[in-house]
Amino acid sequence: MRLALAQLHVEPSNVSGNVERAVDAIERAAAEDADLVVLPELFSVGYFAFDSYARSAESVTGETLTRIGETADRNDVAVLAGSIVEELEASAAAGVDVPAPEGLANTAVFFDRDGHRRAVYRKHHLFGYGSAETELLEPGERIPTVEFGGFTIGVTTCYDLRFPELFRQLVDDGVTLTLVPSAWPYPRVEHWKLFGRIRAVENQMYVAATNGVGQFADAELLGRSTVYDPWGTTLASSADEPALVTADVTPDRVERVREEFPALADRRTTLR
């Protein structure tokens, strides 16, 4: 399977321009034979544009994700639209299961090649350090998985990378590839490089972390989108400019690593 990470330039609060860049990236990736395209966290509004969250919020059936689904269908490519600010009340009114009757969430949606919505993931760990996310958003409660391209795919979002127990749950759910849409800023470059790799190594899975680039009032996204294989090897990565990061990934690689070095089989989960 060919995986493409769309490292987009995200402009604060410029929803229309950001969505256009996302659609263009999906189309370019499909033209390069990608099977699955991953967009960054809050690609439409920009993570640090906190003042714009409420007015930019939409249902998962709203205009932005409808267009992403249509683009997936038109180009015969799966897309993780990761993520938008979701208006939970509007999603509930549209018949979508939500974690709270009202409020906002940081929500990623997986679309299949035909544009069908296959999974909805709401960010579990909300970032409070120098961020208004914990004040503005509701955390997610579910960890969906998707079967695609021979993989069992899980999703986490940005700050989730710091919480290994979430990835252990994904392993227990059979996940072999985790997609991580992110909005990771400078100066925490070494943390970004460390967490993606170690989550791949300790769980013997592919980890594909897609970051944005762009300048906000108080932060700058650092890019460096990367695909790690189950041994922690970097298969493809970028600098801090807009880019399409592509890598060919195979389910057999996960099986071979887990068979050759069966660390997961040695886990002891009953220690106190």
3-state SS, one letter per residue, for the chain: CEEEEEECECCCCCHHHHHHHHHHHHHHHHHCCCCEEECCCCCCCCCCCHHHHHHHCECCCCHHHHHHHHHHHHHCCEEEEEEEEEEHHHHHHCCCCCCCCCCEEEEEEEECCCCCEEEEEECCCCCCCCCCHHHHECCCCCCCEEEECCEEEEECCHHHHHCHHHHHHHHHCCCCEEEEECCCECCCHHHHHHHHHHHHHHHCCEEEEECCEEECCCCEEECCCEEECCCCCEEEECCCCCEEEEEECCHHHHHHHHHHCCHHHHCCCCCC
Contact of 87 with 58, CB cutoff 8 Å:
yes
Contacts of 8 (CB under 8 A, 6+ apart): 18, 21, 22, 25, 39, 40, 43, 212, 213, 242
Does residue 260 have an active-site annotation? no
Among the listed residues 86, 87, 123, 133, the single catalytic one is: 123
Does residue 41 have an active-site annotation? yes
Does residue 123 have an active-site annotation? yes
Among the listed residues 11, 86, 133, 158, the single catalytic one is: 158
Among the listed residues 11, 41, 58, 86, the single catalytic one is: 41
Contacts of 48 (CB under 8 A, 6+ apart): 12, 131, 183, 185, 216, 217, 218, 219
So which residues are the catalytic ones? 41, 123, 158
